[in-house]
Amino acid sequence: MAKGNNTPRHEMPTRDAEERRHIFGEVALGYTLEMAVEEAGRCLNCKKPSCVPGCPVNVRIPEFIAALAQQDLWQAVAMLKDKNSLPAICGRVCPQETQCEVVCILGKKGQPVAIGRLERFVADWERMQGMRAPELPAKTGKKVVVIGSGPAGLTAAGDLAKAGHEVTILESLHTPGGVLMYGIPEFRLPKDVVNAEIDYVRKLGVKIECNAVVGKLYTLEELLAENDAVFLGTGAGLPMMLNIPGENFNGVLSANELLTRTNLMKGYLFPAWDTPVKVGKRVAVVGAGNVAMDSARCSLRLGAEEVHIVYRRSRDEVPARAEEVHHAEEEGIIFDFLTNPVEVLGDDKGWVTGIRCIRMQLGEPDASGRRRPIPIEGSEFEMPMDTVVMALGTRPNPLVFTDAAALERSRTGTAVTNQENGRTRMERVWAGGDIVTGAATVISAMGAGRIAANDINTYFQDSSGPWWIEPTAAPAAVSD
């Protein structure tokens, strides 16, 4: 079997752009077995693989790919899931191009191995065969409660259950999955895939209780009285707005509201589900991250005739994955770069009629590392719109901090932790994911869940040392 640059990388088959802009069916269709085996054969099986440390959860990448190349698919599953309990999700939504694939040796002179696509193939194959839970160790007698069933919580819970601890997840919504269920659209992450991954975590022995709102039904102190450890993985569901005139008009939505109504409340299945989502003919989505792309592409599928991404920086600074931007452009989304809204316009009945914007130019880099946008005086103009969606990032919901004075928060409302081990300043409480970093990626949240789970195990083995040690790692930056 040919290896390396001599064999071209297999592109992922996708639905036709004209077809998919009207439906919520998955855009990327996945590899066939033949394509997956050929792509796996490109791997050089490096003695010192750089791809593994490039993965936030340290998946055994060369080993699962080698097993796939030999068509030993159950061995590929075992190698993959040794470090990752949610591979079908990661294979779809993780930014492999900036993590494991960017450091692939093949990428220095050609195209890297399609690690994410191979991960997806192996995980999908296992789901079709029927998932097998690994043999679990004897129970340790330790009890851990995980708050939140998003990627950080599911990862921490799975790893802790594999270590023999009794784990219960408390989820505030009526269904588990967190942002995987309410935030990421069906065309990027089908919900049957998410449900299958959650069922696997249940097979590890994890109990999941829904409609359990921490801060209302329980406080952290009450949970600590009955458990040996608590992990906070509640994410960041509080939307950020521009705070400009007119934001209270009807027709102004946060991306969270649009995506939750579309995904979790099944708005995309109207009229089969009685939960319609009205977007009008013209939609402006403010922001250019992955959430903005999801909001724009959902709006198109919900019936909008014209959808704009309005972004204050240039194309070079767009934080969304290149693949998502490419798919959005294929589907007809219009990008208005170097443009920033300064006012939402409305009629005498309180409904949006448009936005007033100002042109921007780029100055020197700011704290994010990207060039700072500067308004161009006198360049204001108006854009007629029916709906305006603010996709500007999110912050943690403060409810979980109720009666938890020892749980220190940053000025932006995130939990303060030592990111080297996930410990908060509140003893026996760990945290990870968006509640710590603000809105970030699924895989970074999973990495944080894994770090915390490892440290919880360490703590259970020896809790004699000091609880809090000042961290050396800087907090992750939050992108817009």
162 in the same domain as 46: no
**Residue 364 belongs to domain with CATH number:** 3.50.50.60
Rounded to the nearest 10 degrees, the angle between the axes of helix 73-81 and helix 61-69 is: 170
Residues 452-463 have a mean pLDDT of 96
Q: For the chain, what is the domain count?
A: 3
Q: Which residue has the tokens 């043999």?
A: 135
pLDDT in tens, 79-94: 999 999 899 999 999 9
Assess whether pLDDT exceeds 70 at residue 354. Answer: yes
pLDDT in tens, 310-319: 999 999 999 9
Rounded-to-integer distance, Cα 80 and Cα 58, Å: 10
412 in the same domain as 282: no
Q: Considering only 3-7, 120-124, 340-344, which range has the smallest mean pLDDT? A: 3-7
425 in the same domain as 362: no
In a domain, 332, yes or no: yes
In a domain, 477, yes or no: no
In a domain, 367, yes or no: yes
Domain residues for the domain of 308 are 241-392
Which residues in 237-267 are b (16+ Cβ under 10 Å) and which e? bebbebebebbebebbbbbbebbbbbbbbbb
Q: What is the pLDDT of residue 479?
A: 42
Rounded to the nearest 10 degrees, the angle between the axes of helix 255-262 and helix 290-301 is: 50
Which pair of structure tokens corresponds to residue 32? 């066939």
